Amino acid sequence: MRAGYIFTNKSYSKKSIMSTVLGAIALVALLGDVYSAYRHAGEMIASQGAVCLLALIYAFLGLILAVLARMEKDRFYLFAYIGMALNLIDIFMVSAILYAGALL
C-alpha cells in the first residue's frame, strides 16, 4: 500500500533565494523612498535618488539570478518565480518614478 509520499533530492537554488532577498531589499527601499517623498510633498533629495539607483541595480542583479536559477535542473523553482516577480515589480516602480518625475 502506497502512502502517497514522494522522496526527492531536489532543493532550492541559492541563486533563487538570493534573488528573492535582493528583490525584497529593493522593494522595501523603494517603498521607503516613495513614503519619504510623500511626507515631504513630493521633494526628493540626492540620497533618495541614490537609493533608487541602488535598488534598480539590485533588481537587475536579482532578475539575472532568478533567470539563472530557473534554468537549473532538478531544483524547486518557487523562489526563482518569487524573485522574478519581485524584481520585475522593482524595475517597474523605478520606471514609474522616473516617468512621473519627467512629467513635472
Query: Would residue 16 count as lying in a domain?
Result: yes
CA distances to 9, 29, 30 from 58, rounded to whole Å, are 30, 11, 11
Mean pLDDT score of the chain, rounded to an integer? 90
pLDDT tens figures, 38-78: 898 877 788 888 999 999 999 999 999 999 999 999 899 99
Query: Would residue 6 count as lying in a domain?
Result: no
Query: Would residue 4 count as lying in a domain?
Result: no
Adjacent-strand bridge partners of 11: 75
Of the candidates 77, 76, 79, 80, the one whose C-alpha atom is nearest the C-alpha of residue 6 is 76
Query: Would residue 48 count as lying in a domain?
Result: yes
Query: Would residue 19 count as lying in a domain?
Result: yes
Query: Would residue 1 count as lying in a domain?
Result: no
Name the residue with cell 541595480: 57
Tell me how far apart the alpha carbons of residues 1 and 93 are, in angstroms, rounded to a whole number. Answer: 53
Query: Would residue 69 count as lying in a domain?
Result: yes
Q: 24 lies in which domain range?
A: 11-103
* pLDDT for the residue 35: 92
The structural domain count of the chain equals: 1
Query: Would residue 5 count as lying in a domain?
Result: no
User: What's the whole-model pTM score?
Assistant: 0.86
Tell me how far apart the alpha carbons of residues 4 and 6 are, in angstroms, rounded to a whole number. Answer: 7
